[in-house]
Amino acid sequence: MNKSTPTTPAWIITGPTSGIGRRTALKLAKHGTVVLVGRDSKKLSEVQAEILALSGGHALSIVCDFADIRCVHRAVAEIVSLKLPIAGLVNNAGIMPISRSRSSQGWDLAFATNHLGPFAFTEGLIPHLVDGANVVFTCSGVEDPKRKPAVAAGFRGGRYISAEASARGEWKPGGSSKPGFDAYATSKQCNLATVFAFAHEMPRLRFNAVEPGFNPGTRLGRDANSILQFIGKFVLSPLAPLIKYWSTPKRAARVITKVLTDKSTGTGVYYDENGNPMHASEQVSTLEFSNRVVAETRKLLASAPMN
């Protein structure tokens, strides 16, 4: 990691080594220093070098596995020690495993990586964000059981029971028949709940969400077999700009960067793949539900080992 401390605004992005995250990191380099946070140190170094080569920008790398809460705490401490003027944070890292796996804390891997880790990461950094800083979560419309494209794909919306139940890999009955879909949808449901609750709770900062559209060119489905990955990248991805609700990493990065860096944007807004405000599911739109998710998440994380 480069230890030099720049004075330009700093933008933190998680999951920056491929797909939407990589494209967003490259765009953010035009706005200041980029703090790249991800699991693979080699890939982080490659993106860091790309930022320097393409834009003459400045980037730092922080290694962190968001499924491991202890690793998240260490990453927060490392970033805070740099004393950067943090102007924004993009919680973009995410996975959708097709089989059940556990984190080092014994929690459902998808729920830990997509919700618990980013939640702890954000809360740890909040005291160190400048006034008016924007926190953006990359969310997904699959949390809404009434969203027709998601239902057609096999999703049945977020299946939240409680934070503890989700950590155990337990979901509300009546969910998807496809492995991993309920875990992913519920983690995205909790991301949105976090945005809405934090926006109401902390007016000093801005919290927004972006639904980037269906991006077949990303590595979200990295656990799928090689044939499906090939089809997604080379067959479906070129068609994405022509299909409603679909998008590309390049276009998604443009929307995320605009929402993050535009000081005229508000707080507690959920944006679609075109950068227009959209509706969340009825359940997540209820502040009572969002506040419950946040309270239960805090209680669960308080029980986790710090070191």
Report the candidate in 43, 85, 96, 30 with the shortest Cα–Cα distance to residue 254.
30
The predicted-structure confidence for 115-130, as pLDDT tens digits, reads as follows 999 999 999 999 999 9
- Please report whether residue 131 resides in a domain: yes
Examine residue 194 and state whether it is found in any structural domain, yes or no: yes
Residue 131, domain extent? 10-302
For the chain, the domain total comes to: 1
pLDDT at 230 over 60: no
The stretch 95-110 carries a mean pLDDT of 92
Residue with tokens 């939640």: 119
> What is the per-residue pLDDT across 47-61, written as a single tens digit (0 to 9) for each?
999 999 986 789 999
Please check the confidence at residue 180 and state whether its pLDDT lies above 70. yes
Looking at residue 140, its pLDDT comes to 95
Asked whether residue 2 is assigned to any structural domain, the reply reads no
**Residue 221 domain-assigned (yes or no):** yes
Give domain status of residue 5, yes or no: no
Q: Considering the domain boundaries, does residue 298 fall inside one? A: yes
SS3 of 35-78: EEEECCHHHHHHHHHHHHHHHCCCEEEEECCCCCHHHHHHHHHH
* 88 belongs to a structural domain: yes
CATH number at residue 219: 3.40.50.720
Whether residue 277 is contained in a domain is answered as yes
